[in-house]
Structure 1
């Protein structure tokens, strides 16, 4: 099916091109080489789930929320990312909205690129993220060291991401995968975690849920997390559908497992309001998708393999050799 050309689709395409594609899709190849299946190929559960961009974005927001319940993750973000607003290099305690947009843009690029990009594109994206992780090391204020290459952290990070994407898909996709089909998505997605250096990764919905809950003793709602959630967002300048808004913060917390909701001090609204909110978000996400359809990169990938795949999908995406150690400036120059 070719890209849609109605007014909504055209405006969405223009906005996506200006805000995301032109900034974060540079150098990514989707149209070729002909016959290259990439990491997953047509007919995969990953191709189906990631083609619904609105639910993919909600899933990324949910994943970022639960990921940050790990205090080390909170401090990694505070010390090393653009999420924390800084004036003359000193954190102000506020969120940098542009930094948040950059993080979301890179995330969309990664999960679209690894799903639909050529094999080389997916591998390059994974190398870039691994290289960035190698630079994220430090010490929390309580004296505990953190390291983004730590196997426990990589497992937590992987579980939060696949949980967020799959949960948003289940709840908000018009025709979601269920049961064994959804578990196929979890199994396929392990390739992404392995490519980033993860080992012993959960590969089903039940295994992911068990993995997440096993981290509960080390989780906490840190001050860094607290200032950016719940009532503290009532004066947020973000529009309702943007990350950092009170509504999207609610959507992320509403997706959490009940044990995580308790940790985040989340109390669901009354059943009528809860149903109204979920229905409103479902209608908005699917209405946008029905008007726009999959993005251009999905159609380019389908055309790339329209005559069949000429090479088999690689059996593993795990790195086979140590990465060169680069500075953040070097990484950003080659990303």
Structure 2
């Protein structure tokens, strides 16, 4: 059990600003995750997923990792780069994606299912041809499986490495928890365990390729004004932390050697991640969702496994 903390005002204010930027950005419609009282979501409060998605720092890192891996697949890469606003308005795109993740995990079921249906309708209109002549459609199950798998991997791996280590059984629980929502998105083959994830990585490896777009994405993530101004200089460290989470064989394939963290930087990220994991922020969708389910606001901050914390 870990005790929630109250930090000195300046630090508390900064971390709350990070949480708002990542979890409930001001350019998105405000969603009150605390209503309607008692309505369950797609994932239960005692899940591993609810613990993972409450941490704004690991969410930022894991989200970047996921996109790096998504962009390694040429059909997914073309769809993202040609049919989204990522290059022109990366912050809005990131916020939209982050909000979708929050609704999927913490939103009441009716809200989550309606949001997923809207995403499916948008994907229905996204199709094209890659530079090598391959056709793609955003709702191809094969591509959705890759997107869902890389997102699931990025988020849990960021928490596991930079916040609190999970056991193998906890990681398997996490992947299994995501399967029902993945199927609603159309990812009928999304991995339900770490072994299934590794099998999908192995099956997809031959399709992955190096691209300058990956480096363009990393440059955007280092320079876009995503974090509050006082924390902006640390943004490149979070991006480097994300690169380090990409499996080694994929880093080599994409040419990412030298883009990760030094050892002392990794330790600093782990300490910041563990600290953020003990900070109860009322605007955090995780906290609001606990209140909706008639649980204490600090439920996810004291209801933890016996696995040791990094702080």
* Equivalent residues in 2 for 1:205-220, closer than 5 Å: 205-220=194-209
Match of 1:130 among 120, 127, 131: 120
* Equivalent residues in 2 for 1:1-335, closer than 5 Å: 7=9, 8-13=11-16, 16-17=19-20, 20-26=24-30, 28-85=31-88, 99-173=89-163, 175-229=164-218, 236=223, 239-242=232-235, 245=236, 247-267=237-257, 274-291=262-279, 293=281, 295-306=283-294
Q: Name structure 1 gaps, 5 residues minimum.
A: 86-98, 309-335
Measure how far apart 1:11 and its partner are: 4.4
TM-score using structure 1 length: 0.76
Measure how far apart 1:142 and its partner are: 2.3
Over alpha carbons, which structure has the higher Rg? Answer: 1
Q: After superposition, what is the alpha-carbon deviation per residue over 1:148-181, rounded to whole angstroms, capped at 9, x for unaligned?
A: 11111011111111111111111011x3321212
Q: After superposition, what is the alpha-carbon deviation per residue over 1:183-203, rounded to whole angstroms, capped at 9, x for unaligned?
A: 111100112211211112211
Give secondary structure in 1 for the equivalent of 2:136: strand
Measure how far apart 1:302 and its partner are: 1.4
Q: CA contact under 8 A between 2:40 and 2:108: conserved in structure 1?
A: yes
Taking a change above 3 Å as real, the CA distance of residues 220 and 114 of structure 1, as seen in their structure-2 partners, is same
Q: CA contact under 8 A between 1:6 and 1:291: conserved in structure 2?
A: no
Measure how far apart 1:132 and its partner are: 2.0
1-side partners of 2:78 and 2:193: how far apart? 29
Q: CA contact under 8 A between 1:83 and 1:100: conserved in structure 2?
A: yes
1-side partners of 2:208 and 2:53: how far apart? 29
1-side partners of 2:48 and 2:201: how far apart? 22
Give secondary structure in 2 for the equivalent of 1:138: strand
Give secondary structure in 2 for the equivalent of 1:251: helix
Measure how far apart 1:303 and its partner are: 1.8
Measure how far apart 1:15 and its partner are: 6.1
1-side partners of 2:285 and 2:220: how far apart? 34
TM-score using structure 2 length: 0.81
User: Once superposed, what is the RMSD of the aligned Cα atoms?
Assistant: 3.0
2-side partners of 1:110 and 1:158: how far apart? 13
2-side partners of 1:234 and 1:202: how far apart? 28
Q: CA contact under 8 A between 1:113 and 1:121: conserved in structure 2?
A: yes
1-side partners of 2:221 and 2:192: how far apart? 38
Q: How many residues are matched?
A: 286
Taking a change above 3 Å as real, the CA distance of residues 299 and 227 of structure 1, as seen in their structure-2 partners, is closer
Q: Name structure 2 gaps, 5 residues minimum.
A: 226-231, 297-311
